[in-house]
Structure 1
């Protein structure tokens, strides 16, 4: 009977241990289930922090690139503005230097007019100065517009007035030129002021 009792106690012990073990496992499972959302939220928080830190780093890098690019553009703008101002201030320098000898010739012609009685010589001198001026301007890309006898073109002519045409073939054409027009490298520099036949 003792043996039986011992057996029973051992069986009870084993059953109790099994029961206790299953209860412990159930409790662990319950605790895990209860903590699961907490653990998930902690994992998500860690993930969010790392994503947030990454985004903060990306934002800082983008801001740095933006500031550098803005500073570079600002420097470029300042430099080109300065170059443009320098160019505008010295753009006419070359043309003016080439016209100065013509101005000197004109002064000489005026002085010569005071003491010379021969009008023919003065006339030739003025014609020479005029041709020198035209050559100098031609070298700089300026050429005269031929307007008299051509069809009126509003793109290159400015009509001062209309007069009756002396002949039928001059209707709508330029009869007289009040002020000459000029091209600068095939672009209109100054419109010709003309009288048009109607």
Structure 2
């Protein structure tokens, strides 16, 4: 082997060593990048799982609060009606012992007025239906009767049960008789 061939072989080995070193550096750089991406993926997966768990807890807490609210929603109204119930009990006792019908009548009227005002303070409002146009969204027609004049045709002639709104939302349709 000539000296030139030896130099070429040495250069070839050096080049191969450099290529191996570059390949090793590339592989280690790729491994580092892959490890970094894997770590980011694990962090994102952890965040996702925590977020899903937090949302699930929120849904459970919200459902529990809704059930509690529904169970205690009437408490305020019931507490407001208890004094009316007490007055009704006192009026019932007076009915048994009183001889004066006017006093009993006044007492019962006071109890009814207190009941109405208590319900109104909680948002209950009676519907005015008499001599208004029949509206199927507000009224439930029980029957039709001949109207005494043309003005009352298609209008409410009689109200069998009042309709009611609670905070401007219809909660009971008025049961009415309509003129035809």
Q: Give the greater-gyration-radius structure (CA).
A: 1
Per the TM alignment, residue 36 of structure 1 is displaced from its structure 2 partner at its CA by: 8.6
- The aligned counterpart of 1:100 is 82
How much has 1:53 moved relative to structure 2? 1.2
Asked if residue 20 in structure 1 is aligned to residue 20 in structure 2, the reply is no
Structure 1 alignment gaps of length 5 or more: 1-15
Please say if 1:110 is aligned against 2:92.
yes
Which of 129, 140, 143 does residue 122 from structure 2 map onto?
A: 140
**Distance in 2 of aligned mates of 1:106 and 1:74:** 49
Deviation at 1:29, TM superposition (A): 5.7
| Paired position in structure 1 for 2:178 | 196
Q: Work out the number of aligned pairs and report it.
A: 180
Deviation at 1:83, TM superposition (A): 2.1
List runs of 5+ in structure 2 lacking aligned partners: none
Q: CA RMSD in A?
A: 2.6
Pairwise CA distance, 1:27:
3.0
Counterpart Cα distance in 2 of 1:169 and 1:92: 43
1:25 deviates by 4.4
TM (norm. structure 2) is: 0.83
Tell me the TM-score normalized by structure 1. 0.77
Which residue of structure 2 lines up, in the alignment, with residue 68 of structure 1? 50
153-162 vs 63-72, greater mean Cα deviation: 153-162
Q: Which runs of 4+ in 1 moved over 4 A?
A: 28-44
2:30 paired residue number: 48
Superposed displacement of residue 111, structure 1: 2.0
